[in-house]
Structure 1
Amino acid sequence: MSASDELPTIFAETPVALAPFYPIAELPVNTFLESIVVRSDGTLFVSSHLDGKILRIGSDGVPVVHAAIAGKATGLTLTPLGNLLLTAWNSENLSTVFTITPQGDVAVLVTLPDAVFLNGLTPLAEGSYLIADSYRGTIWELNEPKKSVRIWLEHPALARSSEDKEFPAVNGLKVYGNVLYASNTEKMQLVKIPIQPDGQPGEPEIFVQPINLDDFAFDREGNLYGTTHIYNSVVKIAPDGSVTIVAQAEQGMTGSTALAFGRTKNDLTSIYVVTNGGMSFPPPTGLEPARIVRLDIGIAGQPLL
């Protein structure tokens, strides 16, 4: 039995409409690329989880080290001032949010002694960001100007089915309209959480299941594009919940962990995908290099700006 056969066959009947793909960069086997953001000038920033590095990729497609921490790097987002926010563990395995300047200078923004596994993060309001805690089953709210953190939502829909499960629960986070979407990877669910007028969460509800999602992004029409990680693919989820596979292992998606839309006039209809080469669930053919791949999803996939 192959490795892929050991997984639940949740995509066995899913329609396939493959997008054109263009390899951008390749990194050595056992490189765990974890998160990606795209600056307005087209520069890519990618977190390398295990060695705590933030890679910068410009128009030449060559990854260079932009910054590094003594710890493990997870989620990334950009602030309006052009800084990066990074969720991570520091050298003492303490959950930490770092800020990284455009020049690559790193500073601790805040530490979270009560957090367990900080993961994806996304803007909520001016100066405010939501952070997934994949093992605690919590979403934290970070106030960047005040350097303060509080629990925004702790709920069974965000938690693992049991504490002995290794796969992360709440993982990717994105806001579309007045709703926060959260992937619960371990439960194979995509959860919708209404955002109330005062910025507080409403009652979570399951939007799509079973669906194995890691990170994801929305286009302006409300279509979600998501990485499936151990399923080695990228899927499109329409507003009605229907799912289509748009890229597979043959397009370089082995161990797809995160994606982000392009932001220049030349790549607004493209998404950039990062992978770990199958480190979390090795394919039968063995681990592959980590990759950064551009998918052209066409005019209908213009990003939400």
Structure 2
Amino acid sequence: MNFRNNVVLMLGAVGLAIALSPFSLASKPEENVSPPLVQPPVELVPARTLATYPRGYFLENIVIDVDGTIYITENKTGQIIRRTFNGEADIFSQVDVGLAGLGIDVNGTLIATGHAETGEQYIFEFAEDGTLEYELAVPEAGFLNGLALFRPGVFLIADSTSGTVWQFDRQTQQVVPWLRHDSLNPNPDMPTIPGANGIKLFEGAVYITNSGQGTVTRVPIQDDGSPGEPEVIFSGIVLDDFAFSATGNLYGTTHIFNSVVVLSPDGNHRTIATAEQGVTGSTALAFGVNESDRHSIYVVGDGGIFSASSEEDIVEPELVQLDVGELGIPQEATLDWMGRPRQVEAIETQLVQCTTAPNTENLRTTIGPRYLRYLELHLDHISYAGQLYGNGRANTPSDRLYFVQQQDPEAALELIQNSPYYRAGVYSECTVTPFTTLLGNTLDGVAWPQNAIYPRE
């Protein structure tokens, strides 16, 4: 999916006094940030408020697990709010510093970025039950913000003040620079506005929003995982978090402008939700994953903490579901830069399972050499053969499994029943079950099309 370069939504001359400072939430610095002079067309989509939260809450980020469970970070209290697909809500976990970015590994492990009021930066990992596994101080970081899964166990983290994308390895707990670039720096004329903010992977590249510079930067991923040359693909648009649809549309939150917008690869753009739909102070969004909500995005915000003209105008932040009419991208599909296995034909296999007869230990020892040689002579049909142990490897095998290829069920069963073990009485019975081989290193590929894991419609 190729984006047209240098798509500019000109910023207007009329300033809007706002306070967008996650670096110092207690103060309210004034920055002159202009709304777009050329306002995008407004095409509102159906919206539904699912939950409201206490006034003053700063809902910062959102991820959705494979079962539809929503996790939301709260910047002030350090809470991770959990909401199941059925609408049950609780506090999944809480730390003693403010939380910002949130990510989820392929195994379901949650990772969050956070910051103390004194400026220290942290990465947190949580167990399945919400227990804090560890907190990792990152003294070299400026302000850790959004994060994206880069490969299993490894995340990329946008740093909003240092012009850096960090690479974090869960296993080694090492944090190293992945990219430093001027396009990620804060705007020197608006130093309290975040630079690099949201970060996502899409079709072999990393995309990063820069709120202060009003840009979206694309960084191609090289074959070895290193960054290519960054390229600004959108400018003049203030975005916080974002997500891609399967067709390549970029859905973004505008935070201080209280809206959700869509940027298309051809440069067209439109507003699909405003404060009237509940997205006041929109900070983050994510696509649904279940059959009933795969064409929806879920949006959170801060209720206008940084955009309200007065404290009285701050509203309760909401979790809003927007029906956008197209699919998002499964997180696993964003890792396509790592390469895909080649497509192969599915192999029809028969699984033959044989039960070991009792009190046959001596018989197995006697017949064993002939049995093993029989298997060797039929390697053209037997792809795997192995043993099941009902009570641990120290005990007698309870069953043996044979994966037999290029044979119909009757022929596969006959092949094993003709073996010395069966004919001598080592096995009490053998059964056969059809088995289709779809994946395995012996296949040197996968037997399903790419669209099986990357649906586009």
Considering the TM-score relative to the shorter chain, is it more than 0.5? yes
Measured after TM superposition, the shift of residue 61 of structure 1 is 3.1
- The answer on 1:303 being equivalent to 2:331 is no
Question: For residues 93 and 77 of structure 1, do their structure 2 counterparts lie closer, same or farther at Cα, with a shift above 3 Å needed?
Answer: same
Measured after TM superposition, the shift of residue 92 of structure 1 is 6.0
Partner of 2:193: 167
- The answer on 1:288 being equivalent to 2:315 is yes
Alignment partner of 2:300 out of 263, 274, 286: 274
- TM-score normalised per structure 1: 0.94
Judge conservation of contact 1:229–1:257 (CA < 8 Å) in 2.
Answer: yes
Judge conservation of contact 1:121–1:132 (CA < 8 Å) in 2.
Answer: yes
Counterparts of 1:30 and 1:91, CA distance in 2: 17
Q: Letter of the aligned partner of 2:64 in structure 1?
A: V
| Higher RCO structure, 1 or 2 (CA under 8 Å, sep 6+) | 1
- The answer on 1:49 being equivalent to 2:94 is no
Describe the superposition over 1:142-175 as per-residue Cα deviations: whole angstroms up to 9, x where unpaired: 1111111100111110001228611100000001
- The answer on 1:157 being equivalent to 2:183 is yes
Counterparts of 1:163 and 1:111, CA distance in 2: 30
Alignment partner of 1:37 out of 49, 60, 63: 63
- TM-score normalised per structure 2: 0.64
Counterparts of 1:283 and 1:83, CA distance in 2: 39
Alignment partner of 2:210 out of 172, 184, 194: 184
Measured after TM superposition, the shift of residue 60 of structure 1 is 4.5
Counterparts of 1:13 and 1:97, CA distance in 2: 38
Kindly indicate which of the two structures has a greater share of residues assigned to helix.
2
Partner SS state of residue 39, structure 2: coil
Describe the superposition over 1:88-120 as per-residue Cα deviations: whole angstroms up to 9, x where unpaired: 125764211101122111132532111111000
Kindly indicate which of the two structures has a greater share of residues assigned to strand.
1
Structure 1 segment 67-106 matched on structure 2, within 5 A: 67-90=93-116, 93-106=119-132
Partner of 1:117: 143
Describe the superposition over 1:210-267 as per-residue Cα deviations: whole angstroms up to 9, x where unpaired: 0110000011111110100001000111112221111111111110000001011111
Measured after TM superposition, the shift of residue 205 of structure 1 is 1.2
Comparing 30-39 and 3-12, the one that deviates more: 3-12
Partner SS state of residue 280, structure 2: coil
Measured after TM superposition, the shift of residue 9 of structure 1 is 2.8
Segments of 5+ residues of structure 2 without an aligned counterpart are 1-13, 19-31, 331-457
Counterparts of 2:259 and 2:307, CA distance in 1: 13
Describe the superposition over 1:69-88 as per-residue Cα deviations: whole angstroms up to 9, x where unpaired: 01010000111221100011
Counterparts of 1:164 and 1:59, CA distance in 2: 40
Counterparts of 1:76 and 1:9, CA distance in 2: 28
Alignment partner of 2:276 out of 250, 259, 269: 250
Count how many residue pairs are aligned between Structure 1 and Structure 2.
303
Judge conservation of contact 2:249–2:265 (CA < 8 Å) in 1.
Answer: yes
Describe the superposition over 1:174-220 as per-residue Cα deviations: whole angstroms up to 9, x where unpaired: 01011111000001111111111111111111111101100000111
Partner of 2:254: 228
Segments of 5+ residues of structure 1 without an aligned counterpart are none
Counterparts of 1:202 and 1:163, CA distance in 2: 28
Partner of 1:23: 49
Question: For residues 104 and 272 of structure 1, do their structure 2 counterparts lie closer, same or farther at Cα, with a shift above 3 Å needed?
Answer: same
Counterparts of 1:91 and 1:64, CA distance in 2: 25
Partner of 1:197: 223
Judge conservation of contact 1:168–1:184 (CA < 8 Å) in 2.
Answer: yes
Q: What is the root-mean-square deviation in Å for CA atoms of aligned residues?
A: 2.0
Alignment partner of 1:211 out of 223, 232, 237: 237
% identical aligned pairs? 37
